[in-house]
Structure 1
Amino acid sequence: MFSKPTSQLLGIAIGWMYRHRDLLSLGYSGKDPTFSQAKQVFLEEMRQQTGENMTDEVLLEAFQEALNRV
């Protein structure tokens, strides 16, 4: 099990953000300031893609790092 995001996971997270700009815009506009909707969808989709190799903590860390970069 991974304990921190890999560069591959970070790349996937950045790509996910470009495909889900609508969810991110809710966060940036203040309608969802904690990005909770985006995080929920991200976790659901990443769990399916990565299987059980990644913990939610690692996935959320990748989400935050990607958010800082886009």
Structure 2
Amino acid sequence: MSKDELISVKDFLNYAKELIELDYGSQKRFAKQHDLSQSYVSDVLLGRREPGEKFLAAIGAERVVCYRLLPDTDR
């Protein structure tokens, strides 16, 4: 994955899980170092909660909302 690349939610969660495991060794250590609750981190990584700004900053990511217009269709 390259910087500035838009990725899916699934790919983001996989990236975050891998980064946390490699850089921190555990969700608990990541949560403690970034003043987040372990249950919140777990919920984010399981897709049950949206990542907040603090979590995103710790991962080095930002949320970007995109819309795409569909080709001409009968509306």
Instruction: Tell me the TM-score normalised to structure 2 length.
Output: 0.32
Q: Whose relative contact order is higher, 1 or 2, with alpha carbons under 8 Å and at least 6 apart? A: 1
Output the TM-score relative to the length of structure 1: 0.34
More helix by share: 1
